[in-house]
Structure 1
């Protein structure tokens, strides 16, 4: 097996995408530290891995505090003798428009997604560097962090921040041979289950039927298991030369997201004053203004609900 002898931590792995990641890493041979705030979900996740012949142990604790990050790494070392792989997946949603978003709505999402990623990666990277481990760190982003989304100020800030940290960590950890990447998943989750546009896909998955090709191919929208293969690949020795990347996956589609680059440049001798901008900016921006948010094609008639 590709990950035989490796040890992995997957945060937020009691259910959903995180559970699929943990199960696939175990299927490929890794021993897995499962993490969730729900003790029953964590126990069920461990049981599902063990019943399939894998090895797993649970840490029931909220991601965010440094103490949790230390507990996760120490559990991996004490139980399985080391740590090779970290997948930071834990997160919550507190969706609402800007003018209705409370401080707690913002702080909760930032604390779990962004701070939780930072504290867990810091602890794991410290262990890997001190012990000469050529580790793999995989941080979970979102299309919202790449494009923005209505009602998700907090989530967009956290997920775009995660990708920014990944690029920085890829630079800082290169000499230690630790690869750091972001994965941008597109899959049926509790959040997408409430969106009418995805109803036909969600209904198909609930019935155990294949999702319509429109969703899998055209939208790159699939199941949690469709994402898990990329997680395991990036955790393997085969992906040793891949670092600092944001890679999208979902359904039948694989994407490489570009790093932000200037799309248009202009110069004005002496610098840009209000007057020079007023005269030249309309021509500068025309045809170059960038879009925001996801743009979905119309649903085919047979998939309308």
Structure 2
């Protein structure tokens, strides 16, 4: 499953998860366009690939605008002659509970995650369609977009929206032979390093040790490299039958998330008026209400003690 002769764009790839994705694609033979807002970080990321014999070039620009999307596609063509793969990873966080979240907090996150995914995918798909390229588009979702999370109204909306767009694009792009999927990573990042709950896992990674089984197996939480493999696989020609999917990955775990389906369906002659709902909702629907947020299995006592120290 070589990606030699393929050209990829990875947004938000100056460091962290995005850099791991870019390095894995390059390792498999693809030429990569690195993107970040900081030119120095872009240069360092490019060097990390070229120093190992890979091919990379960079674009320092904030994702969100049509201008940046056009610049990324143009850079792929100018540097490497074509475009085959787009990974829309760029993102920011502005976490606050609802009453503390400002318009700017909301708009910034939506602009980078949701609008940035939209503009980059639109530009890449236009190139694919005009040039007869059976391209690969890989977007990045989040468990927050699937389940919700306290203090992340903006992020949850953006990530849920990305998966919604993927399902629509899978329909629209199928005839052109272009696939589009969402990957939902659960991995150590700069953000998770600040959360005490993940402390033992982060500490193990920083020591070059394997994370405890509780994280890798029970939570499906791992390293950036644990996620990079599915990114590269979805970019291959062989993955052409995978389309419109939301794929969770982390640690030792891989998941296919279901598309939303009705948990229960009931009919009532004449419809569901107020009086009928008042009389029957609790009995007929109450037990089928869905949970919100993520629920973790109990943590082993030795890990709890490690966090407490």
Q: How does the TM-score come out when normalised to structure 1? A: 0.99
Matches within 5 A, 1:1-305: 2-304=2-304, 305=307
Matched position secondary structure for 2:288: coil
Alpha-carbon offset, residue 193 of structure 1: 1.2
Q: What is the rounded CA distance, in whole Å, between the counterparts of 1:113 and 1:194 in structure 2?
A: 22
Q: CA deviation at 1:195?
A: 1.4
Deviations 1:31-88 (A, max 9, x none): 0000000111111100000111100000000000000000000000111010000000
In 2, the alpha carbon distance for the partners of 1:284 and 1:13 equals 49
Output the CA distance in 2 between the equivalents of 1:270 and 1:68: 53
Cα pair 1:197 1:299 within 8 Å, conserved: no
The Cα shift of 1:103 comes to 0.0
Instruction: For residue 286 of structure 1, report the CA deviation from its aligned partner.
Output: 2.4
Q: Distance in 2 between matches of 1:46 and 1:269?
A: 65
Aligned to 1:53, the other structure's residue is in SS state coil
Distance 1:2 1:295 in 2: 38
Q: Is the 8 A contact 1:84 1:136 kept in 2?
A: yes
Following TM superposition, by how much is the alpha carbon of 1:129 offset from its aligned partner in structure 2, in angstroms? 0.3
Tell me how far 1:213 sits from its aligned partner: 1.2
Alpha-carbon shift at residue 133 of structure 1 (Å): 0.1
Paired residue secondary structure (2:122): helix
* Unpaired stretches in structure 1, ≥5 consecutive residues: none
- Cα distance per residue 1:17-43 (max 9 Å; x no partner): 000000000000000000000111111
Distance 1:284 1:32 in 2: 54
CA shift for structure 1 position 285: 2.2
Compute the displacement of 1:141 (Å).
0.3
User: Alignment partner of 2:264: what SS?
Assistant: coil
Partner SS state of residue 258, structure 1: coil
Q: 1: CA distance between counterparts of 2:138 and 2:271?
A: 42
> Secondary structure in 2 aligned to 1:184?
strand
1:113 CA drift (Å) = 0.1
Deviation at 1:109, TM superposition (A): 0.1
Question: Per-residue CA shift, 1:182-216, capped at 9, x if unaligned?
Answer: 00000001111121111100111111111111111
SS of aligned partner of 2:63: coil
Cα separation, 1, equivalents of 2:281 and 2:247: 34
